Structures are given as structure tokens and as C-alpha cells.
Amino acid sequence: MRYRELGRTGLTVSEIGYGAWGLGQGAWVGADDDSGVRALRRALDLGVTFIDTARAYDRSERVVGRALKELPGGGEGVHVATKVAPKVPVSLSPSGLDPMVAFPGAHLRESLETSLRELGRDHVDLLQLHTWEDEWTGRGDWLETVDALKREGKIRFFGISVKDHQPENVLTVLRTGVLDTVQVIYNVFEQAPSDALLPACEEYGVGVIVRVALDEGALTGAIRTGATFPEGDWRNWYFRDDRPAQVEQHVDAILADLGSAAEELPSAALRFALAGQAVSTVIVGMRSLRNVERNAAIADAPPLTERELAVLTEHRWAKNFYG
């Protein structure tokens, strides 16, 4: 496994991080606590040192906590990040864009305390807001609470997980210098962060955590026309209607231009994300031992060539399957 600095934090993290949403067993069907612990433990054995979870991910924090508790030293050397969901969904906020409704300081503290109990830890390395509106910059008491939590030793660093497909909706607060990290969707299809966000992160020393590098599976080559998922799995919604056919068309074009086989696509997609400006780690959902080992093997793969990067850059696709 290779490692990088997480912005200006001084933390060193694995290039491949563990995205723990799927361990929660809510949106993603097919896992349980025991299999989740096994997958996470295997990832740690292979050198993964960064785990990203969230209060909103159902049982995820509890599973992460159990996996770390079973390690010598309680997982010392593993960096854990979690997120605070807004108290009221932003779209339902009766006051419009008001951080005192979405993220009042008392809510941040209460959410973190619950996360710490679930994780079985006395602090987290990184606390993130699970969404953000840049109009909130300079408003509300969330920043005072963040500073207090740092002084109390309950969090080491603070960041924001940017709203889906809105990478520029964090640039104002980023330039104030209060952020240590930004988490953002960045992949072969979704390249918009490279326009303004990634350069700004490099300029201000903000660490970049890439999520959805495999586009919820679209960039694994496994999503083909007629793809189905277990009942209750949220991917039935994400890949609804003719979306699998759209994915198949775009993926086949990528493979043709690269001259690669389908099984090589996940590696190329992850290496593309790692090549992004200022990127510190790419968090990947890995619920099976097979996927853990496949994704961790990126550490043994060479960086993409200039030609490969150029080819993949041409496959930018302005889509939003979350809509």
C-alpha cells in the first residue's frame, strides 16, 4: 500500500481508504456485522489506514468500532473519519439556507458524542459535515463548536463532504481557511472537481477525500443492460430505467479506447481518481474479501500513463443519477 499526506493535517493515510457506508446494512443489501468486520479487518491487514463512516449510515459506526476493538491497541494508527448529518434535511429547512437549522452547534456535539459511543473511541481524527451550502459561510455557531471540540480533544480535524455533483458549492468556505479536508465525488465520468475545487484545495493545503470513484459500480464493468440488484438495495433506484444501458454504452467506449478488458476497468478507474490534483485518499466501498483484495492491489499497479489519463479524460459524462 502507498501512502499520502492528508493535506496540511500532518496525517499520513493510505491511498485506498475504506468507505464504510455499505457496512451499515441499510441502503446496501447483502452484508451483516460479521462479514463487515471480516472485510474491514482484511483491508486493514493489507495496509488500509483510513476509514470513512457517518452517523447516517445505519449500523456502520458500530461495525467499524467492533472491527477496531478486536485489533491490538484498539486500531492504533488507523485514522477514522465520521460525519454529522443535518438536524433537518436541507430541502425541508423552514428557514431556507440557514445553518442554525441544519447544523446548530449543539447538534454537532450531540451527533459526535453518539458516534464516539458507537465507535468505542474517545475521539475521531476527522469530523465532517455531511452536506453544505456555501451561503452558510460566516453564519451560525457550527465553527465555534468545531473549535471547542478540537480543544477538548474529541476531534483532530474538520472537513465538509460536498453535496453530490456540486463541487463548487464549498469554494467560499474553503478559502476562509477553516477546512482541513473536503470530500467530493470524483471519477472518470464526474470530472467537474478538476475545474476549480481540486486546484483550490492544492492552493490552500486542504486534503481531498475522493468518494464514488467507481460510480456506485458503474465503473467496474459489471453494470450491463438489464442489471438487477437484491430487493431493497438502493441501486435498484440509482440504476433504474434505461440507466444500465447508458452505463454499458459509456463503459464499452472506454474499454475500446483503452484497449482493455472489462476486468481491468476498476483498477484504471481508481488510478484515475488517485491522479487527481491534491487527492490524498480514495475511499472505496468493499464489503467482500474479493473486492477488498482487488482494490488494495492498486498499491502494486503503476500510475496511469499520460496516454491512459488522456483517454479517460475524454470520457467525462455530465450525468446525475442521484437526481
CA 64 – CA 41 distance, rounded (Å):
9
Domains in the chain (CATH in brackets) are 3-313 (3.20.20.100)
Query: Are the beta carbons of 64 and 51 closer than 8 angstroms?
Result: yes
Query: Are the beta carbons of 11 and 157 closer than 8 angstroms?
Result: yes
CA 47 – CA 90 distance, rounded (Å):
37
**3-class DSSP state of 219:** helix
Q: What is the pLDDT of residue 249?
A: 97
Q: With the CA atoms of 242, 210, 178 and 206 taken in that order, what torsion angle do they form, in degrees rounded to the nearest 10?
A: -140
52 membership: H or E segment, kind and range: strand 50-52
Q: Tell me which residue has cell 476549480.
A: 196
The dihedral region occupied by 126, where left means phi > 0, alpha psi between -120 and 50, and beta the remainder, is: beta
Q: How many CB atoms lie within 10 A of CB 243?
A: 17
CA 110 – CA 93 distance, rounded (Å):
19
Nearest residue to 18 via CA among 58, 54, 50: 50
Radius of gyration of the chain (CA): 19
pLDDT by residue, tens only, the chain of 323 residues: 999 999 999 999 999 999 999 999 989 998 899 999 999 999 999 999 999 999 999 999 999 999 999 887 778 899 999 999 999 887 766 667 789 999 999 999 999 999 999 999 999 999 999 999 999 999 999 999 999 999 999 999 999 999 999 999 999 999 999 999 999 999 999 999 999 999 999 999 999 999 999 999 999 999 999 999 999 999 999 999 999 999 999 999 999 999 999 999 999 999 999 999 999 999 999 999 999 999 999 888 999 999 999 999 999 999 989 98
Q: Residue 107's beta-bridge partner residues?
A: none
Q: Residue 158's beta-bridge partner residues?
A: 127
C-alpha cell at 215: 460510480
CA 155 – CA 141 distance, rounded (Å):
17
Q: What is the pLDDT of residue 42?
A: 96
Q: With the CA atoms of 122, 35, 321 and 231 taken in that order, what torsion angle do they form, in degrees rounded to the nearest 10?
A: -130
Ordered alpha helix ranges (H), the chain: 33-45, 60-69, 99-102, 105-119, 142-151, 171-174, 197-204, 235-238, 243-258, 265-274, 289-296, 306-313
Query: Are the beta carbons of 50 and 128 closer than 8 angstroms?
Result: no
Q: What is the pLDDT of residue 88?
A: 87
**3-class DSSP state of 242:** coil
Q: What is the pLDDT of residue 94?
A: 61
Q: pTM, whole model, 2 decimals?
A: 0.97
